Amino acid sequence: MTNTAPEQARAALDAVDRARRQVADQVGLPRGYWWVMAAGWLGLGVLGSVSPWLGGTAAAVFGAGHGTLASRLLAGRRRTDGLRVSAAVAGRRTPVVVVGMLVGLVGVTVLAALALHADGAEHASIWAAVLVAAVIGFGGPDILRVLRRWARA
Amino acid sequence: MTKARFDELIHPSTRLTLVATLAAADWAEFAFLKEQLGLSESALSKQLATLEEAGYVATERRPSGGRRKVRARLTTAGRDAFDGHVAALQAIVTGATTPAESPAARS
């Protein structure tokens, strides 16, 4: 039997909770994922500018490729090669949050392109894609972190 | 339901944090654990060796870019011991705060 006092037990439980939260902070997607996504976004913007039909087809192929290639990453358990977060800690909502975020960014891209076009800008879809690609490349990990917190994922 | 069992081997603070970290992961690299726990290589090696000797942790060396990286994971026995230890800690805390146990409730 132990002589551990309740205060010591509480402190030990706090240490356990802290360690778990530190591992939970590692949930996310690898940095390379965001840069590849940004490059893809830019490419789709350029193709959409050349031909809407080509852009639409490329977007469908890109979406299917993303679903296949990134499916292992979307759970958010492999952000670094330093550890793999357990499924229990990573939760089940991260893939939904990532896909929801990407759908939202598609909407932002379309709205930005329409606004730029209405303003008379040439190559509106390319500039809209550049804007959103920069947001994804530089801010993807932070946006996902905030969205996960909102979704309690 | 996890059976509460206080584990003297896991309880020391550094080892408890190490086991709690491994319990939240499928596996972790030595370098990651060293950084998270702020331990020296020799101190972490010693802690892992103690846990491995008890059958709580398994380590494996994996080749990576010409180097070999050490990866640690909690075994089933280690996970059971950790869950039992956490349950025991919770029982101690709960026991101290349960109204039925307090002198006022008994009088």
Task: Find the length of chain A.
Answer: 153
> Letter for the amino acid at B91?
A
Task: Using a CB–CB cutoff of 8 Å, tell me whether A24 touches chain B.
Answer: yes
Q: Which residue has the tokens 């706090």?
A: A14
Of B47, B45, B73, B69, the closest CA to residue B59 belongs to B73
User: Kind of pairing, strands B67-74 and B57-64?
Assistant: antiparallel
Closest partner CB to A86 (pick from B25, B32, B95):
B25
Whether residue A22 lies within 8 A of chain B, CB to CB, comes out as: yes
Amino acid identity of residue A123, one-letter, is H
CB A136 within 8 A of CB A34: yes
- What number is the ipTM of this complex? 0.82
* Among candidates A15, A81, A88 on the partner chain, residue whose Cβ is nearest the Cβ of B17: A15
pLDDT on residue B97? 59
Contact yes or no for B24 and A20 at CB 8 A: yes
Q: CA-nearest residue of chain B to A19?
A: B21
Low-confidence stretches of chain A (pLDDT beneath 50): none
Most B-contacting residue of A14, A22, A23 (CB-CB within 10 A), to test interface: A23
Residue of A nearest to B69 (CA): A82
- What ranges in A29-123 are assigned the alpha helix state H? 31-50, 52-69, 87-90, 94-118
pTM above 0.90, yes or no: no
pLDDT value, residue B96: 65
Task: Determine the Cα–Cα distance for residues A50 and B93; give it in Å rounded to an integer.
Answer: 67
Task: In whole angstroms, give the CA distance from residue B19 to residue B107.
Answer: 42
Integer Cα distance of A12 and A20 in angstroms: 13
Condensed to tens digits (0 to 9), the pLDDT of residues A44-77 reads 888 888 887 887 788 888 888 887 777 778 878 8
Low-confidence stretches of chain B (pLDDT < 70) are 1, 96-107
In sequence order, the β-bridge partners of residue B40 are none
Cα–Cα dist A76/A71, whole Å: 10
User: Minimal Cα–Cα distance from A142 to chain B, Å?
Assistant: 21
Q: Which segments within B1-107 are labelled E, that is strand?
A: 25-29, 57-64, 67-74
Contact of B28 with chain A, judged by CB distance below 8 Å, is answered with yes
Structure-block tokens of residue A83: 């550890």
Query: What pLDDT score does B92 carry?
Result: 93
Q: Percentage helix, strand, coil, to 5, in chain A? A: 75, 0, 25
A41: tokens are 């976004």
Predicted confidence at residue B107, as pLDDT, reads: 38
A15 within 8 A of B16, measured Cβ to Cβ:
yes
